Amino acid sequence: MILYILWLRQIKRYLRSKSRMIGSLGQPILFLVALGFGFGPIFEKAGGGNYIQFLAPGIIAMTILFTAIFAGIEVIWDKQFGFLKETLVAPVSRTKIMIGRTLGGATVATIQGVIVFIFTLFIGFRPTSILMSFFALVVMFLIALLFTALGTAIASRLEDMQGFQLIMNFLVMPIFFLSGALFPVDSLPSSFEIIIRIDPLSYGVDALRGVLSNAAHFGLGLDLIVLLSVVVVITIIGAWQFSKIEI
């Protein structure tokens, strides 16, 4: 029951904040339009094909990444305003509380990803299979779970929002830009490809390309195995960090 309540609370908070809903769509739409149409001709001349087809899965993953991280970071706000204390005094384990918050944040991030996916259809993106498009929801949710749990783990260690810019500049932005979301990784130097393989978002982006465009670089099976494994590990770490919060 507590998992359902916390999950529902996160979704209601998201639906009430219309400005947040609209604002979180601004950056991915800008990236899609500006980069998609701006670099599209160059990408095509270089033999890469349709850049919108390549870019769209990466921007969907970007949307989920930022929304999920923000959902996890909300733990800091709840600490400061006392909402978290009210939750933690409930007669349930903190692990269940963390999982409920994570599921709620992941659901919100997945909804944002679906909205951006629908927008990509209007600017020319065409998935190779309608059936596989539904499977993309599973991949989106795995990405969302991973980064909501990561955001929660980080927020559990922070006392205020002063470290937020540090997280954005030295963790979230590198995770995005080094995931291969904006550029193909086929012909990169081996040293750079190693960095991309370490980045967990790389497997989320690649899995989305696999199910939406049939263009997975690492292989869909490997992508899913890595995503599932990292989700489990980060969730365990997040639950452990959350359990150590002092109220």
Q: What is the dihedral of CA 188, 191, 195, 197, to 10 degrees?
A: 70
- By the 10 Å C-beta count (0-12 exposed, 13-18 middle, 19+ buried), 142 is classed as buried
pLDDT category at 95 given cuts 50, 70, 90 is confident
Whether residue 242 is predicted with pLDDT greater than 90 in this model: the reply is no
Do residues 28 and 56 lie in contact, with contact meaning Cβ atoms separated by under 8 Å?
no
- Pairwise pLDDT comparison (224 vs 167), residue with the higher score: 224
Question: What does the domain layout of the chain look like in residue ranges?
Answer: 2-243
Nearest by Cα to 95 from 105, 107, 103: 103
Do residues 58 and 182 lie in contact, with contact meaning Cβ atoms separated by under 8 Å?
yes
CA atoms lying within 13 Å on the CB side of residue 150: 22
Q: Helices (H) and strands (E) in the chain — how many of each?
A: 12, 0
pLDDT digits (tens, 9 = 90+) for 103-137: 888 998 999 999 999 999 999 899 988 888 889 99
pLDDT digits (tens, 9 = 90+) for 194-207: 889 999 999 999 99
Taking the whole predicted model, whether its pTM rises above 0.85 is answered as yes
Whether residue 18 is predicted with pLDDT greater than 60 in this model: the reply is no
